[in-house]
A = this chain, B = another copy of it.
Amino acid sequence: MALVVQKYGGTSVGTIERIHLVADRVAHTQQEGNQVVVVLSAMSGETDRLIKLAHEVTTVPDERELDMLLSTGERITIALLSMELRGRGVNARSFTGRQVGIITDSAHTKARIARVTADRIKEALKQGVLPVVAGFQGINEQSDVTTLGRGGSDLSAVALAAALKADRCIIFTDVDGVYTADPNIVPAARRIDKIAYEEMLEMASLGAKVLQTRSVEFAAKFNVPVEVNSSFKAGRGTLVTKEDADMESAAISGVTGDRNQAKITVVGVPDKPGIAARIFGPVAQAHINVDMIIQNMSQAALTDLSFTVPRADLKKAVPIIQSVANDIEAESVSVTEAIAKVSLIGVGMRSHSGVAAKMFEVLSREGINIMMISTSEIKISCVIDEKYLELAMRSLHSAFDLDQTRS
């Protein structure tokens, strides 16, 4: 008998009809002889409705109170699904984050899970009860309600699966898995059957929106096999798991594109020791993440220093850099928003040589200039002109044999 944690997102429980479908699937999984634990999000739209109410009340809602407010959304769906299942004779019971012992720190609206006891779930399972758990929420040591931030329900599911040593955690969502590239950009993209935690982490942080980074980190840390699957159609999804020999057979697992970047160049920087620290110190203090950095010697004793920041932070970053540039007597500061980052990801890179060279060659063949490069053990990223992003992704996807074979 396998123990399976199933998580359903907001669109999967967005209407009464869809809650019926979720009940069908849950009941079916149990009938197949599995123990099932269900984790739910709020009905899609409910969280937005509550946030809107809060902002009608006051311009900057207190975050502890916001958590008290937002945590109601999941309580509604777990109660409704439990009723529905009980109406069919399934011995389901709803539990809040508190009741299943999801203990977090006190960073309201973006709390981090400190530990998960899961005592009541274990007890319930022993008694043949099917637990239906509110995702996205926990309590802190003072017993105040906290929420886990974006993607929090996925994290709840993975954390419970870890605490229960579940055989599998299935994230039901509106896509049927993780793709080799965004199918909206690369029509030939195909669903990946199996992907390593590390690859999934890189893909998540590089723009793939299927799973949040934190959930993948948690799954990797506790070795929880996570399956991403569609709640609307039957079929296989993508299994996120430990790296194995299969995965290494291909050099590349996926291609990602990220437009959420902007480039800042400080031109004509006097080449003295300590200059980099003087530039990046104030940027870090303003909590702006710098991603890539390159330095070009342009003239004798003067260098150009370019780096990328999240596009959303550009407004905050520019005056800081401008002020530093004046202090260090640099010539000027230039900003380019129209850039994008295209990346290749794959644990196979470790054993396949020549991936970088091939990537540069493919881009060059398409006439795409590479502005910046950064690499890690399982990833290569190039910053290019934004207008070439789709072309770059499609060319790389095809060149690295990721295109699906039409049958």
Tell me the A residues contacting B by CB distance below 8 Å: 16, 19-20, 50, 53-54, 56-62, 64-66, 68-69, 71-72, 75-76, 78-80, 82-84, 86-87, 93-94, 96, 99, 143-145
Q: How far is the CA of A159 from the CA of B87 in the complex (A)?
A: 35
Q: Which chain B residue lies CB-closest to A23?
A: B57
Indicate how many identical chains form the complex.
2
Q: Are A66 and B84 in contact (CB under 8 A)?
A: no
Q: How far is the CA of A53 from the CA of B82 in the complex (A)?
A: 13
Q: Are B50 and A65 in contact (CB under 8 A)?
A: no
Q: Are B53 and A65 in contact (CB under 8 A)?
A: no
How many whole Å from A6's CB to the nearest CB in chain B?
18
Q: Are B56 and A79 in contact (CB under 8 A)?
A: no
Q: Which chain B residues border A145 with CB–CB below 8 Å?
A: 96
Q: Which chain B residue lies CB-closest to A43?
A: B53
How many whole Å from A268's CB to the nearest CB in chain B?
49
How many whole Å from A126's CB to the nearest CB in chain B?
15
Q: Which chain B residues border A58 with CB–CB below 8 Å?
A: 83-84, 86-87
- Supposing A53-B76, A72-B76 touch, asked if A83 and B61 sit within 8 A by C-beta, the answer is yes
Q: Are B71 and A75 in contact (CB under 8 A)?
A: yes
Q: Are B80 and A53 in contact (CB under 8 A)?
A: yes
Q: How far is the CA of A87 from the CA of B145 in the complex (A)?
A: 20
Chief secondary structure at chain A's binding surface: helix
Q: Which chain B residues border A53 with CB–CB below 8 Å?
A: 16, 76, 80
- Supposing A68-B75, A79-B65 touch, asked if A57 and B87 sit within 8 A by C-beta, the answer is yes
Q: Are A16 and B93 in contact (CB under 8 A)?
A: no
Q: How far is the CA of A23 from the CA of B64 in the complex (A)?
A: 18
Q: Which chain B residue lies CB-closest to A74?
A: B72
Q: Which chain B residues border A19 with CB–CB below 8 Å?
A: 57
Q: Which chain B residues border A75 with CB–CB below 8 Å?
A: 68-69, 71-72, 75
Q: Which chain B residues border A94 with CB–CB below 8 Å?
A: 64-65, 68
How many whole Å from A132's CB to the nearest CB in chain B?
9
Q: Are A143 and B99 in contact (CB under 8 A)?
A: yes
Q: Which chain B residues border A84 with CB–CB below 8 Å?
A: 57-58
Q: Which chain B residue lies CB-closest to A68?
A: B79
Q: Which chain B residues border A76 with CB–CB below 8 Å?
A: 50, 53, 69, 72
Q: Are B57 and A83 in contact (CB under 8 A)?
A: yes
Q: Which chain B residues border A79 with CB–CB below 8 Å?
A: 54, 65-66, 68-69
Q: Which chain B residues border A56 with CB–CB below 8 Å?
A: 16
| Residue of A19, A78, A79, A99 with highest tally of chain B CB at under 10 A | A79
Q: Are B68 and A82 in contact (CB under 8 A)?
A: yes
| Residue of A16, A56, A59, A83 with highest tally of chain B CB at under 10 A | A83
| Residue of A61, A69, A78 with highest tally of chain B CB at under 10 A | A69
How many whole Å from A80's CB to the nearest CB in chain B?
5
Q: Are B99 and A83 in contact (CB under 8 A)?
A: no
Q: Which chain B residues border A83 with CB–CB below 8 Å?
A: 54, 57-58, 61-62, 65-66, 69
How many whole Å from A73's CB to the nearest CB in chain B?
8
Q: Which chain B residue lies CB-closest to A67?
A: B79
Q: How far is the CA of A59 from the CA of B16 in the complex (A)?
A: 13
Q: List 8 A-B contacts (CB under 8 A).
A: A20-B57, A54-B79, A58-B83, A62-B86, A69-B75, A72-B72, A72-B75, A99-B144
How many whole Å from A136's CB to the nearest CB in chain B?
14
Q: Which chain B residue lies CB-closest to A73?
A: B72
